[in-house]
Structure 1
Amino acid sequence: MDSTSAPPRRRSRKKFDKQVDAVMWASRALIGIAAASVAEVEDRVSIPQLRILTLVATRGPLSLAVIADELDVDPSSASRSVDRLMKAGLLDRRDAPEDRRRLAVTVAADGADLVQTVTDHRREAIAAVLKKLSATQRDELTVAFDAFAVAAGEPTTDDSLTLVWPLHP
């Protein structure tokens, strides 16, 4: 029985499976780009530390509780990582703007530079791939990735700094 004579439900399932496979294939390429960008800074920070830097750089001042919650780690782990990043001069702690009794974690200039280095590498690598596609393919890909990101619950931003690591593992 060929695919044109298969029942509609089976054709639909096969089509969906091919869609999942296509996204998996593309994700391998994107993970390769992400890994190469992280390799540029792995002598300075670990991947979990980079996730914290990225979170704070893209979301602004955050409490330790929010960092722990967003990264789905216990507060003591988040606190230890933040302390290491502060000792390295990549993060700062300040009074929270809304409540001076609480502390907010902010990104230091060196931390912002490190995140920007990773982001720039990633943008250049993605741009090199996109240049291999036609303008129409890039437009279609943009619409598809925008919809995928929204469906996945990624925050939208108009900032020039793009997320360089998912917020949730």
Structure 2
Amino acid sequence: MEKSTFRGRREQVDAVLRAADVLLHVAAQSVVEVEDIVTTPQLRVLVLIALQGPQNLGAVARELGVHPSNATRTCERLVVAGLLSRREDPADRRFLQLDVTDSGRDLVESVMEHRRKAIAQVIENIPAASRESVASAMATFANAGGGLGTADGRFTLGLNS
């Protein structure tokens, strides 16, 4: 068995846990900036809709892993706050279509921009000669996890494909 620069599996796991702590700190700090405006589940809904396009309540409930009545309450608060709009779904009038407003889109973009800048700063602290290999290792790690991460920065809780 080939020996890596890390002495064993425990050291490898610990290194990844430390990196995960840094990434979670970046994500948490971006949420702190808007926590006086939205809750974390509300932010997840806004990010989902801003980046994936209009959704119905069923899709929101699935994303949050909650009962549709909880999704309804979450979305209602976002509508009242002017961050989401709702209208009849043109494809099926039995459903409401939820879309992000300009204010909601601005809030999502501020959160995502905070994350981009914070991660860019961490990358800047990596020696230039190592940056490409670190990015490649992170991509390999994400792929090995089954692609559970999202390209748009939302956290996923389930193991859905």
TM-score grouping bracket, smaller chain normalisation? 0.7 to 0.9
Q: 1:59 aligns with which of 48, 52, 58?
A: 52
Matches of 2:8 and 2:87 in 1, distance apart?
52
Q: TM-score of the superposition, structure 1-length normalised?
A: 0.81
Secondary structure at the aligned position of 1:62 is classed as: coil
Counterpart check, 1:68 vs 2:61: yes
Q: TM-score of the superposition, structure 2-length normalised?
A: 0.84
Secondary structure at the aligned position of 1:121 is classed as: helix
How many residue pairs align between the two structures? 154
What whole-Å deviation, never above 9, does each CA across 1:45-83 have from its counterpart, x for those lacking one? Answer: 111111111111121111111111122111111110000
Instruction: Determine if contact 2:58/2:68 at 8 Å carries over to the other structure.
Output: yes
Instruction: Determine if contact 2:150/2:156 at 8 Å carries over to the other structure.
Output: no
Aligned identity (percent) is 43
Asked which structure has the greater RCO (Cα within 8 Å, sep 6+), the reply is 1
Matches of 2:113 and 2:134 in 1, distance apart?
20
Structure 1 partner of 2:75 = 82
Amino acid at match of 1:166: F
Q: CA deviation at 1:29?
A: 1.0
Matches of 2:88 and 2:138 in 1, distance apart?
38
Alignment of 1:1-169 (within 5 A): 15-150=8-143, 151-156=146-151, 162-163=152-153, 165-168=154-157
Q: CA deviation at 1:34?
A: 1.3
What whole-Å deviation, never above 9, does each CA across 1:70-118 have from its counterpart, x for those lacking one? Answer: 2211111111000000000001113334334422211111011001111
Q: CA deviation at 1:124?
A: 1.1
- Give the greater-gyration-radius structure (CA): 1
Amino acid at match of 2:156: L
Amino acid at match of 2:149: E
Q: CA deviation at 1:154?
A: 2.7
Is there any run of 5+ residues in structure 1 with no aligned partner, and where? 1-7, 157-161
Instruction: Determine if contact 1:51/1:167 at 8 Å carries over to the other structure.
Output: no
